[in-house]
Structure formats: structure tokens, C-alpha cells
Amino acid sequence: MADQSTPEARTPEKALNGETALNDGPPESADTKGGISRRLLLGTAGATGLVLGAAGGAVGYAARPAEATPLASLGADQVMFHGKHQPGILQGLQARGHVVAFDLAAGAGRKEAAALLRRWSETARRLMAGEAAQQDDTDVARDAGPSSLTITFGFGHSFFARTGLEKQRPIALDPLPDFSSDQLDKARSNGDLWVQIGANDALVAFHALRAIQKDAGRAAKVRWQMNGFNRSPGATSHPMTARNLMGQMDGTRNPKPTEADFDQRIFVPESAAKDPAGAKDPAWMANGSYAVVRRIRMLLDDWEQLSVKAQEDVIGRRKSDGAPLSGGTETTEMDLEKTDKAGNLVVPINAHARITRPDQNGGAAMLRRPFSYHDGIDADGVPDAGLLFICWQADPLRGFVTVQRKLDRGDALSKYIRHEASGLFAVPGGAAEGEYVGQRLLEG
């Protein structure tokens, strides 16, 4: 859980290429289309055509659509499917999320995978626009708008052998090394295909999950699936960095799209396609990114026994406002050399925030976009809860691996967390109009 801020505290706004980018506005004002989709929830306050029965009860509605007004704008927020990058990377945190991995069915290969990605891409396009699924829509999200729905697709290491595309497998997709905090469940790790779903309405997110699963048909079967959540947009009086289930502001130093080197640290450069011979990534990965997915269980009973002061020393930041222990506000640069009257470092040498700073890791950076999770309470009363850690980078060896190796050598937080599942996925660039995600790989 590196000390990098989540994108929650910034508002998605329409970029010139039709994507949703991040800025520093309120998180609840996502990119909104002017029109109202077929599924947008409509209110009837102010409608003139309400028909009353003899007893005065409402028995029907005859309001003209032009006079109906939305109950809220949240459902109308829409993210575009087509664009330079896939959706679900640059957008702000969503209130509900699902991550799911699939394995191709026995006998399924490149042809079946291409047909599946074509189906999935069309379903994603329709649902993200607030439309019904193309076939056998379940009506779960019938009354809702797009609700900032995003659906993102990626390929695991094993996908390339299954489809005969080993020569197109990126070197960056080599398996992650083992770490000391790993207690990984192989059944809930990796996979041929990976799908990330996020929305600001739980029913919209579930509807998308169900549609994606049904689209898989006989071509692929679910390997594992996990559910997550974040604070709902608009729940705070002003934009704030998200808190995790430990009560800490979870990361304050996320790289920002406004930074000059943001793209080169998070996305595979376009030169991969323009000059394949000189690129370290295959051409089909241009404008894509690599997602590291980790299920990190938080040992909350142990954590909550600590005093607030002890928790702050573990993290290196104040719990109340996320400011570094060396002083200032959340965005104040941490003073790693500051000492107290006794000569002790104010920010402990093994504090999580100190260890994960990019300037302490050769500039390593990841764009963190996680979800919290809670999967019930064990028989002994211990909550199965923590973080669905998802981070994006142009090179996982320089991003996640560099930072995690440093954490392995003495992070104070490691005593209170356990990595229980893991995956690394190559997420290609966005699909252009008329394309499906992964087309340049599967038909190249």
C-alpha cells in the first residue's frame, strides 16, 4: 500500500481526446453527458400529468418526458469507452468495484479469444453508455444511468501460450518475484484474462459483472472474482483523499496527469507502435499499461489495539488529516531528516510513507486505484477485510516490484497486513471507434 494518493480527490473532466482525465476538482462531478439515457432514473416532481384515483392515491403517471427531471445527477455521469487509453485507469475512484479473472476453456484458442473480446467490448460500450446489454439483458440496472461505469480488460501471462501468441508476450509480464509478506492463494491469483469493473452504483456494477460473465459463454470460465467498495462520491463536505479500512488516508503522493513525466511512468509509449524495433514493449501495447492486482488482508484486530500515536508512527503521517509527522498539511513535502528534542527522527526510519516515497526508490511510481473489501467475519470473529490493491505503471519491474522489495526489507506496516492473492496483467491501449480491445494483438 504505497504512499501515493488515490485519484478520488480529483474530478474526472472531459479530455480533448474524448477520455476522462483527472483534475483537482470535487470527486463527485464526473464527466456527464448532456442527454438522459434510456435507463436514467427520472423523477416526477413538477410533473403535471399525475392521475389520482377516487381515494386520492396515485394510480398512474402521464407526465411528458420533457417535464420529468432527474432525481440526481450521479446516474447520468458517463465515461467514454473508446479512447487513447482504456477506461478505468484515469478516472476517479468509484463507489463499487468488481475484479474478475477468467481462464480460456479447454480447446479455446486465438479465434475464440478474439470473438470473446469482440463481444466484451461491445457489451462494455453499450453498458457504459447507459444502454441495455445486446442480448438477454437482466434489467438489473434498468432504472439507472451509466453511473460512471468503467470496464477494463487485460491479459495474463498464461494467455499467450493458450492462444499461440508467445512471441507477442511482453517481457514486462514475467511473473512477479516472491515477497516475504506473501501467503498467496494460487486459486485466487493470475488468470488468462482479467476484467475490472467500477461504477458509482452497486446495481450498475453488478449488472456489468453479470453481463461480462454471460458473454464469456463456453469460451472462458471464471477463475476468481472479488468485490470492492470506496467512499461514495459526495459523502464528504469537500474533496478528500480516500481512507482505507485502517482509517488512514490511503496515499498522498499518487502521480498526477499534470506532471510532465506522468505518461511515460504510467503508460507504454506510442513509440512501441511507431518504432517496434526500438521499443521494449510489443506494438500492440502502445498506450496501454500494466496492472498489478493484490488482495491485501488487513489484520484489523491487531491494528486497532495500537494507540493513534503508534499507528501514525507506522504510517509516518497523522491519522486526522494525512499530514506528514514532520509537520504541515497533507501535501507538504515530508522532512525525512527532522528530529525531535531527544534527537530521534520524527518520521521513523521504517515508516511506510518514508519507505514508499518515489525519491527513495529511484523515482519508481505507480498510479494506485484500489478498492476496499470486506468478505465477512471468520468463525473466530476476525474480519476478512482489507484492500484490493490495483496499481498501474508502464513497467512493473520499475514500479511495483521496486517499491515492494524495499517494503520487504523493513516496512513497519508489514506486521499488520498479509498479501493473499496476486496477479499481473497487460492492459492494452483503448479501442478506437470500430475496434475491440486487444484487436491489434489478436488480429495483428
pLDDT digits (tens, 9 = 90+) for 258-280: 999 999 999 999 988 777 777 89
Q: How many structural domains compose the chain?
A: 1
Residue of higher predicted confidence among 439 and 38: 439
Residue 250: inside a domain:
yes
Q: What is the pLDDT of residue 361?
A: 76
Domain that holds residue 195: 78-442
pLDDT digits (tens, 9 = 90+) for 284-339: 999 999 999 999 999 999 999 999 999 999 999 999 999 999 999 999 999 999 99
Residue 21: inside a domain:
no
What mean pLDDT comes out for the span 109-121?
A: 98
- In sequence order, the 6+-apart residues with CB closer than 8 A to the CB of 404 are 179
Q: What DSSP string runs through 139-195? A: -TTTT---TT-EEEEEE-TTHHHHTT-GGG--GGGSPPPP-TTB---GGGS--SEEE
Minimal CA–CA distance to 77: which of 151, 9, 145, 21?
145
Q: How many CB atoms lie within 10 A of CB 34?
A: 5
At residue 77 the predicted structure's pLDDT band, cuts being 50, 70 and 90, is very high
pLDDT for 174 beyond 80: yes
In the DSSP assignment, the letter for residue 32 is B
What mean pLDDT comes out for the span 222-248?
A: 94
Q: What is the pLDDT of residue 239?
A: 86
pLDDT for 57 beyond 70: no
What mean pLDDT comes out for the span 204-230?
A: 98
Q: What is the pLDDT of residue 410?
A: 92
Q: What is the pLDDT of residue 279?
A: 80
196 phi, psi to nearest 5 deg: -110, 130
Residue 92: inside a domain:
yes
Q: What share of the chain is helix, strand, coil (3-state, %, to 5)?
A: 25, 20, 55
CA atoms within 13 A on the CB side of 329: 3
Point out the catalytic residue in the list 215, 250, 313, 411. Answer: 250
What mean pLDDT comes out for the span 175-197?
A: 97
Q: What is the pLDDT of residue 181?
A: 85
pLDDT for 36 beyond 60: no
Q: 6-10, 122-126, 226-230: which has the minimum mean pLDDT? A: 6-10
What residue type is 232 in one-letter code? S
Q: What is the pLDDT of residue 34?
A: 41
What mean pLDDT comes out for the span 233-255?
A: 90
Residue 277: inside a domain:
yes
Residue 32: inside a domain:
no
Residue 27: inside a domain:
no
Which strand (E) or helix (H) includes residue 110? helix 110-128
pLDDT for 23 beyond 90: no
What mean pLDDT comes out for the span 184-197?
A: 98
At residue 49 the predicted structure's pLDDT band, cuts being 50, 70 and 90, is very low
Residue 347: inside a domain:
yes
| C-alpha to C-alpha distances, 213 to 101, 225, 393, nearest whole angstrom | 10, 11, 27
At residue 362 the predicted structure's pLDDT band, cuts being 50, 70 and 90, is confident
Residue 24: inside a domain:
no
pLDDT for 69 beyond 90: no
Whole-prediction pTM value?
A: 0.85
Extended beta strands in 19-160, E state? 20-22, 42-43, 50-52, 58-61, 69-70, 96-104, 150-155
Q: What is the pLDDT of residue 29?
A: 39
In the DSSP assignment, the letter for residue 237 is S
Dihedral sign of CA atoms 321, 327, 329, 330 in order? negative
Mean pLDDT (the chain) is: 87
pLDDT for 33 beyond 80: no
Q: How many CB atoms lie within 10 A of CB 359?
A: 11
At residue 24 the predicted structure's pLDDT band, cuts being 50, 70 and 90, is very low
What mean pLDDT comes out for the span 103-110?
A: 97
pLDDT for 47 beyond 60: no
What mean pLDDT comes out for the span 147-168?
A: 98
Annotated catalytic residue 378:
no
Percentage of the chain beyond pLDDT 90 is 75
Burial degree of 35 (CB within 10 A; 0-12, 13-18, 19+) = exposed
